[in-house]
A and B are shown apart, each in its own frame.
Chain A
Amino acid sequence: MTTTVPRTGRPRLARFVKTRYDKARDRQVLLGPETVVTLNPTGADILALCDSTRTVDEIVDELGRRYDRVVDDEVEAFLAKLVARRWVEIPDE
C-alpha cells in the first residue's frame, strides 16, 4: 500500500505522539506508544512545520528557502512514512 500525500493538505502530528529535544543524546526525537524515533535535522524541521495551518506545499517552500535547495521529494517521502504509521495526520480539506 502506498501512502499519498496531498500537497494542499495541512499535516499535523497525531494526538498521541510528541516530539522533543533529547538532551542526553543531543537530538530531536519523536515519542509514541512503545516508540522512540530519532529524527534527523531535516525530519525535525519538517515536523516542526506540521502545525495544521501550513499545507505540504507551504512546508516545501519554507524549507526550500531555509536550505536553499529543492526538498519536494524529501518532504513527501518523509511525510508518507509518518502518515503510514499514523504518527502524522493530513485531514481531508
Chain B
Amino acid sequence: MSDQLLDGPLGVLAELTHACPLSCSYCSNPLELTKRSAELTTDDWRRVLDEAADLGVLQSHFSGGEPLLRRDLADLVGHASGLGMYTNLVTSAIGLSRPRAEALRDAGLDHVQVSIQADEPVLSDRLAGISSFEKKIEAARLVKELGWPLTLNVVLHRQNIDRIAAILGWVEELGADRVELANTQYYGWALRNREALLPSREQLEHAEKIARETRERLRGRTDVIYVIPDYYAEYPKPCMGGWGSRQLVVGPEGNAWPCLSAHELPLPRANVAEHDLAWIWRESPLFTAFRGTDWMPDPCRSCDRREVDLGGCRCQAFQLTGDMTRTDPVCVLSPDRHLVDEAVAAANDPAAAPAAGATSGPEPVLVPMPAVRPHRAD
C-alpha cells in the first residue's frame, strides 16, 4: 500500500456555477464571476466527465459557487458515478432538501462536504452574508441520516479562529467523519480582504493547540485535518502537489485550470469547448507552463527543497509580486519575503483590529455578489 504520484490527473474539480446564496469575503471564485447564461450545458459536462475518465480521473468533486443551484446536479453525479468515479459534493448545504438529497443518493453520490462558517448563527450569518447557520446544521444531520460520510469544511480567519473549540464541538455533535480546518489562502477575494482576515500569531497558536488536542481525542472517530496558514510558515506549500500534476479544475464556462486560483494568471486559456481534456492536460501551454522544475528561477533552481515544495504557489507569486515565475514570497529564501512579513506584522500590531466576532476593526472591503437564481433548464 502506498500513496504514489501517478500519471495523469487523479481528480477533477467541476465548478458547475459561480452562483451562490452566500457571499463570503474569502470566496475562492474569480473576481469576475461567470454569468449563468455562459455556463456549460449538461451535455457539455457529461462530455467533460467522459474525457476526464479516459485521462484516468478517479474522483470528481462537484463544487461552485453552490452546485445545488444546478438543476442537473444529480444527473451529473450519476454520470460520474457510472464512470466509476468517487463522487464528492462540496456545498454550503443551502438547498439540500430531503428530496434533493435522496435524488443525489440514488444517483450514487459518495461523500458530502458541508461548509461551516462559525459555531453560532450571529457570526455565521454575518460571515456568510445570509441567514444560513440553522439550515447548515439541519442539512449536515440529513447527510449523516442518509448514510453518507460527512466532512465539515471550515475556512479559518481572524474573525472565527478563536471559536475553533466551539466549532469542533459541532463536529463532534454532528458525528462528522472528517473536518478540514483550513486557514484562508490569500488569493482573489481573500487577498483584497486580507487585513480583515489574517489572524495574529497568538490566535493561531491557540487554534493549533486546540486542533491538536481534538485530533488526539477524536482519533478513530473523526479525522481532524488542520491546514496551516502559509504566511506563518518558513517554506511554501507544494501547491496542488505540483502544477498540472494531480488535479484539474474546470470552471463554469469550461475553462480548465491546474488549480482553483490560476484564472488570475496571465496565461493562455484552455477551454473544453475548443480542446479535449487530454490535449489540455498533456500539451496546452497553460498546463505545461510550470510543470516540473525546469521553469524555476533562483533561489528555487539551486535549492535542495525544489522537489519538496516545487517552488510553491504560482498564483501567490503573481498576486504579491506581479511576476508569476518568481519564487513564492512565503519562502524565507525569497527576495520578496518582506511582502509577507509586512502583512504578518500588520496582523500582529496591537493597535490592529480586535478580532473574534468584534464589530469594530477592519471589515471586508469587497465581497462577491453572486447570482442566486437557479440554472436555466437545459
Contact = CB atoms under 8 A, between A and B. Distances in A.
Interface residues on B, range: 20 to 34
A80 to B, nearest CB: 12
A18 interface: yes
Given A1-B220, A31-B86, A38 B6 contact: yes
B110 A16 contact: yes
Nearest to B246: A36
Interface residues of A, number: 24
A25 to B, nearest CB: 5
A39 B1 contact: yes
A6 interface: no
Contact of A22 (B1, B2, B58, B220): B58
A81 interface: yes
B8 A25 contact: yes
Contacts of B88: 33-34
Nearest to A23: B56
Given A33-B149, A38-B1, A20 B84 contact: yes
Contact of B111 (A1, A16, A23, A78): A16
Given A37-B1, A39-B1, A84-B220, A24 B110 contact: no
Given A16-B177, A32-B86, A38-B4, A1 B219 contact: yes
Interface in A54-85: 78, 81, 84
Contacts of B56: 22-25
Nearest to A20: B84
A37 B37 CA distance: 39
B109 to A, nearest CB: 11
Contacts of B110: 16, 18, 31, 33
B349 interface: no
Given A18-B110, A37-B3, A39-B1, A24 B55 contact: yes
A16 to B, nearest CB: 4
Interface in B8-52: 8, 10-11
B274 interface: no
23 contacts: A1-B219, A1-B220, A16-B110, A16-B148, A16-B149, A16-B177, A20-B84, A23-B56, A24-B7, A24-B56, A25-B6, A25-B8, A29-B58, A33-B111, A33-B113, A33-B177, A33-B178, A36-B11, A37-B3, A38-B3, A38-B4, A81-B1, A86-B220
Interface of B: 1-4, 6-8, 10-11, 54-56, 58-59, 84, 86, 88, 110-111, 113, 147-149, 151, 177-178, 219-220
Given A20-B84, A29-B58, A33-B110, 15 more contacts: A16-B111, A22-B6, A22-B56, A24-B7, A24-B55, A32-B86, A33-B88, A36-B59, A37-B2, A38-B1, A38-B2, A38-B3, A38-B6, A43-B1, A84-B220
